[in-house]
Amino acid sequence: MHVCVDITGESSMVGFGNIHFEVCQAARCATTVNEDKHGATCKANQHGFIPFAFDTFRFLASEALELFKRVHKVVIDSNVMTTSSNEYVFRRISFAIQKGLEA
């Protein structure tokens, strides 16, 4: 099965005017919005959908963490990558997220 991944970085200050502020609020909101916006279209085209949302406080939505775990398991089980190349892949992903946060 093919899977569409929507990567979204949100400012933690979204909804800052709310009285009750939570660090995870922006990423969770982005996850819900993206599922509503793209989930049905992907499903109609026989694709899975994974929203990968994070915020400027480096909070990762639970779906993003689950995707990291799945990628890690595939990398480990494939026996193609060494420990150092495994670390390289995850450092590159981390770098891409940090670069997005800076923007």
What was the pLDDT predicted at 41?
92
Mean pLDDT of 9-15: 68
**Mind listing the pLDDT tens digit for each residue in 40-86?**
999 999 999 988 888 777 777 888 888 878 877 777 777 666 666 66
What band does 13 get if pLDDT is binned at 50, 70 and 90?
low
DSSP string, 34-55: HHHHHHHHHHHTTEEEEEEEEE
What pTM was estimated for this model as a whole? 0.61
